[in-house]
Amino acid sequence: MHIAILLFDRFTALDAIGPYEVLSRLPDAETVFVGERTGPVFNEVGTLHLVADATLADVPRPDIVVVPGGPGQTAHMSDGPVHQWLRAADKTSTWTTSVCTGSLILAAAGLLTGRRATSHWLALDQLPAWGVTPTSERVIIDSKYVTAAGVSSGIDMALNLAGRIAGDGVAETIQLGIEYDPQPPYDAGTPDKAPADIVSNLRARSRFILERPVA
């Protein structure tokens, strides 16, 4: 099973690494980080990089596609090499997935039209521009398309996928192996539960306040 995780400049690291930690543990999994070019690809703050070991052309038919989000998503909202690769890979993929604002890239490539999907809570209102029904659920599975909400939900998405691919026992074994048992010290992980002033502050600072989707 060939798993391709897309990298692009200014991606969010956990969007890619969370699913990797789960999916790479599936039986017979071959995981590769792909990009427009090989070499180091830096995260959104430029202090951490992952290495793209293959170009998009090197991986034409992955079984699973994972698209992370991050501020660099903005550069991939119009047609280009990433969209072309996604549409071609999607023709034969078993699962096409995203984390956080990676769903905006899938939507802009035309892969989520008429479907339900999620994204980071600050980006949900961007999805309808591409004919996508937004939902605030943490993980959405619509046919073979699996989208996850913000950043940390990529682990949940990957565990859901692991269970569907290899069975509950394998997924539970992976969960235990990475000791994924969230017990956060605060209950502020969604805008419905976080203090109103924090929600307002983050919303005011959101890059989507100034950005507008180009359908």
Give the DSSP per-residue string, 83-125: HHHHHHHHTT-SEEEEETTHHHHHHHTTSSTTSEE---TTTGG
DSSP three-state, residue 129: helix
Catalytic: 10? no
Determine which one of 100, 108, 151, 166 is catalytic: 100
Q: Which residues pair with 95 in a beta bridge?
A: 64
Give me the helices (H) in the chain, please. 13-23, 81-90, 102-108, 153-166, 168-177, 196-205
- For 71, phi then psi, to 5°, come to -55, -30
Q: Collect all residues with Cβ–Cβ distance below 8 Å to 95 and sequence separation of at least 6.
A: 63, 64, 65, 144, 145, 146, 161, 165
Nearest to 180 by CA among 31, 21, 26, 61: 21
DSSP three-state, residue 67: strand
Active site (catalytic) residues? 100
